[in-house]
Structure 1
């Protein structure tokens, strides 16, 4: 594998690999060596260095605003970069624990292999006894697959219990109580009540976790017993804590368990609906009907085939919802796929030629983030209530732009780290970040490629049950609004993220209308005209996506207002804005050609 292959989408996720490697239909010839794209190359050789330099300059101690945010910086480790912007609390927690988590990533698969080696020897002796009575090849294959699943899930369950206790201490009991209640909803209620009860309970848990802040036992104890205090005559003597506060002190490595529980809620909903839909499936097994090899099935077929009735046990449920590599942040895999891969190992999880390039990509992204945080202090600047008038329009726009890049990287790194752990352990979940943040021009495609496993989850469990896009144009927009409202509430219960979700929905409408007014079939004989027309629309899309994400995840509405006023509040700013739009148009044309190159390799993606 060469350097060029390392950065292809197929390296991130083998789901995108074409079976035939043949170009897709209606693929255009390469445009890279045309005069038009040589001009674009010139733009790429000049503009991006200036973009980096603009934020690098305002991150220097000599800048007037440096004193405002210097307290947010920490000593750096890269030579020549004395300070690092470690002001983002979410990423700081991941960054500081990478060495410890790396140790767990190494030990966990080794412990599994040791356990399976010991357990498989016992299974082999038992199997030899069974073979005396039956030597049917299908029976042997099924028996071996079931034995593999038993070994894997037994280990997953045991390790998850230890892992949960180490992470959350006494709060592990709270997590298990929620999980058991959700399991009882699926398996004990009459079928007609499972759907509405599941949504009510699990969405209610999102709100309750937030409002009750993880249900501290000290509050429960205080409601039954008055708080005991020391002798009031002893000046300055601290109050004695009640038994609940004493138990809360054993909160494990991550006492705030509720902060990371949102991802588990998605697995709870997935299990209940996979169970409900399993009851409605016909008894026939598609693998046997199609005479397909289980290891060669696509993700869609694995999910469609689903788990059997006997697989929906409490032990399997807990092993799935608490699966250690994916417990904290995902990516999300549904119960059907988890059970299927537990039975039948996928070729992608058994090949070092696939896992090593993925690990290299992760390490490169990690060092990229370190270089950005050491040299470009965009996050600390935005957190310090700066004087926006001290920056030029170009610098203001780049501060917003690199803020978004840090958000992209701070989400990408944990997701890829834990997916790498899962791949090493033999389970292949979807890749969450398929495209670079700067390689998106479509609002719809951006959503599909940003937190991709969540998008697949939303599509399966919300969008399609609501009717998808087959229910009329107006209803489809309403479905999008419902989806993004849930997505915003799932991220965090606050107005800023609700505004983000609604802005995303509003910004989908222009693209949706444009595809109706300018269908590709009307430009079959004018492909370049259609490409340029799409480029103009893409410029507006990119600006709207940047606006929505800056409001939702970076500077908020007030911060965005300061950025916009600084950019377009003067003639020079408006001239810059026009130049920025031209640059975005050039970038979009390059994105189009990158996707055509993928199509020429047989890669079909919707993002």
Structure 2
């Protein structure tokens, strides 16, 4: 395999590969390659000179000799690269980084235990009764036997895994999961949707406000048994922080169940004569499970599926059951090995960044922004965002790799590098992609999507990102972030209406350059929104921006930065054209 193939999107996730093509056929609207043109030679010069300067800007302010170093030195930890400390100050990523050795053991052990169990269970399918072979009644076909076998293993491993993670608090998780199942199955059909939303959104608030309901408080502060139970909180006592991902699975199950009941047990798959062992993703999401599959033990196995329990990626119940019944052809060594190599490369990249660029620690130390040049300020914000991207990408890819090794192909959450996005709308389709698919299926489309008029569509976007913000955390900063995202989507939507592609088909280069100008504005707005939501907050962003634009030199730098972003956008356009020439159109 060529090293360049590692970075193709179809290597990252087979869903982007053209279906059923032995040879790559370009799309009809694919443009000829521009890589070997004078225009792009100029762009190459930018790429050869500017990225090293960007890295150097933050490296210089991360040196012990810098005046602000004393402010954040206590946030640094001993590193494994000689002569460098590591910026392990982000609590969210620290929890993942510090536990990588233990999680690696589980990642290897879980599939091995699965294989051992499958071998034992497969040999035990036929039991001797009065000297003759008798098939277990629950097995049925080979596919149903595989489903039953996988469900039993998933439930057994999930029980041990949950107890190890949360100790006695695992009982709280099981209780909430059980109550949600009762909402789906015990209530009349017309009450299920609204009750599901009230119950699960209520959980987001209540879990946050009551800090996971400590047993000591439930039993009364004078009781000793409550404190004793709390003392056995497992590896992750704050189970409520991770329960947000479980909430998505709870909502997905309830709606998959009622939508399946609405079809009155008819199978569109059977009507279309589609091979159930080779269903496309769209069909798996809709019809991958039948009514008989919506049992409590299947639901429990899906909700607590160990490889995806902690952080996703998110698959719905239909897809989980379908893949448990039939292994996808994409589960192969030739696909998993390159994916594992990409994960290791990303992990090492993060280690280099944390050892040489202390952008996160600097931003947490209430810095004196006047001590930095406009270029250094902008790069501190830029690399802050890159750390955010990597700290999310690494857990998601780790857990997806675990699922792939276990025979489940979940969607890839991040399909583009953070620096390879020029469209606000496409950015949100490719950032936490499985969550985007979830909100599209369970919120945006049920609300009417974009087919209900422009004003209503904007309101639907607002509802979606309000939920997304609340789901991330209950705080005003993230609500502001969600509303900023909706606000920043509007300019791109309006520009698309004012400058339709078909009106410029005779001037493709002029249209490309016009789009490049719009892309610069999009990139700046996306950086601002994410710095507010996940790094600096409004006050921190204000200090950063003031430091950049308050001087003439800063304004000149901002102009130079916009030119650089324009060059970057042109390269992004050509990357997507290269994908079209391979028959791929990701729309992001």
Query: With structure 1 as the length reference, what TM-score do the two structures score?
Result: 0.94
- Does 1:565 pair with 2:565? no
Q: What is the CA–CA distance in structure 2 between the aligned matches of 1:3 and 1:470, rounded to whole Å?
A: 43
Q: What is the CA–CA distance in structure 1 between the aligned matches of 2:128 and 2:322, rounded to whole Å?
A: 23
Cα distance, 1:126–1:597 mapped onto 2, change above 3 Å: farther
Q: Where does 1:377-388 land on structure 2 (aligned, <5 Å)? A: 377-388=358-369
Cα distance, 1:32–1:125 mapped onto 2, change above 3 Å: farther
Q: What is the CA–CA distance in structure 1 between the aligned matches of 2:371 and 2:200, rounded to whole Å?
A: 47
- Does 1:89 pair with 2:91? yes
Q: What is the CA–CA distance in structure 1 between the aligned matches of 2:446 and 2:406, rounded to whole Å?
A: 33
How many positions carry a matched residue from both structures?
580
Deviations 1:341-375 (A, max 9, x none): 000100112x1010000000000000000000000
- Does 1:268 pair with 2:271? no
Deviation of residue 243 (structure 1)? Answer: 1.6
Deviations 1:381-424 (A, max 9, x none): 00000100000000000000000000000000000000000000
Deviation of residue 126 (structure 1)? Answer: 8.5
Deviation of residue 318 (structure 1)? Answer: 0.5
Say which of 186, 192, 195 aligns to 2:193: 195
Q: What is the CA–CA distance in structure 1 between the aligned matches of 2:7 and 2:226, rounded to whole Å?
A: 52
Structure 1 match to 2:48: 45
Deviation of residue 294 (structure 1)? Answer: 2.8
SS at match of 2:302: helix
Residues 388 and 396 of structure 1 are in contact (CA less than 8 Å); yes or no, is this contact kept in structure 2? yes
Residues 265 and 291 of structure 2 are in contact (CA less than 8 Å); yes or no, is this contact kept in structure 1? no
Q: Where does 1:354-393 land on structure 2 (aligned, <5 Å)? A: 354-393=335-374
Structure 1 match to 2:149: 151
Deviates most, 16-25 or 197-206: 16-25
Say which of 401, 407, 415 aligns to 1:420: 401
Q: What is the CA–CA distance in structure 1 between the aligned matches of 2:501 and 2:264, rounded to whole Å?
A: 40
Across the aligned residues of Structure 1 and Structure 2, the Cα RMSD in angstroms comes to 1.5
Deviations 1:503-562 (A, max 9, x none): 000000000101111110001111111111110001000000000000000011111011
Deviations 1:309-349 (A, max 9, x none): 11111100110000000000000000000000000100112
Q: What is the CA–CA distance in structure 2 between the aligned matches of 1:468 and 1:110, rounded to whole Å?
A: 44
Structure 1 match to 2:534: 553
SS at match of 1:347: coil
Residues 295 and 347 of structure 1 are in contact (CA less than 8 Å); yes or no, is this contact kept in structure 2? no
Structure 2 match to 1:61: 64
Q: Where does 1:125-204 land on structure 2 (aligned, <5 Å)? A: 143-204=141-202
SS at match of 2:116: helix
Cα distance, 1:283–1:181 mapped onto 2, change above 3 Å: closer
Deviates most, 288-297 or 555-564: 288-297
Q: Which runs of 5+ in 2 are unaligned?
A: none
Q: What is the CA–CA distance in structure 1 between the aligned matches of 2:493 and 2:514, rounded to whole Å?
A: 15
Residues 278 and 306 of structure 1 are in contact (CA less than 8 Å); yes or no, is this contact kept in structure 2? no
Q: Which runs of 5+ in 1 are unaligned?
A: 132-139, 228-240
SS at match of 2:234: coil
Structure 2 match to 1:433: 414
Structure 2 match to 1:232: none
SS at match of 2:311: coil
- Does 1:9 pair with 2:12? no
Say which of 264, 268, 276 aligns to 1:294: 276
Deviation of residue 282 (structure 1)? Answer: 4.9
Q: What is the CA–CA distance in structure 2 between the aligned matches of 1:111 and 1:124, rounded to whole Å?
A: 21
Q: What is the CA–CA distance in structure 1 between the aligned matches of 2:352 and 2:220, rounded to whole Å?
A: 49
Q: What is the CA–CA distance in structure 2 between the aligned matches of 1:184 and 1:260, rounded to whole Å?
A: 22
Q: Where does 1:380-529 land on structure 2 (aligned, <5 Å)? A: 380-529=361-510
SS at match of 1:467: coil
Structure 1 match to 2:213: 215
Q: What is the CA–CA distance in structure 1 between the aligned matches of 2:26 and 2:127, rounded to whole Å?
A: 50
Residues 181 and 254 of structure 2 are in contact (CA less than 8 Å); yes or no, is this contact kept in structure 1? yes
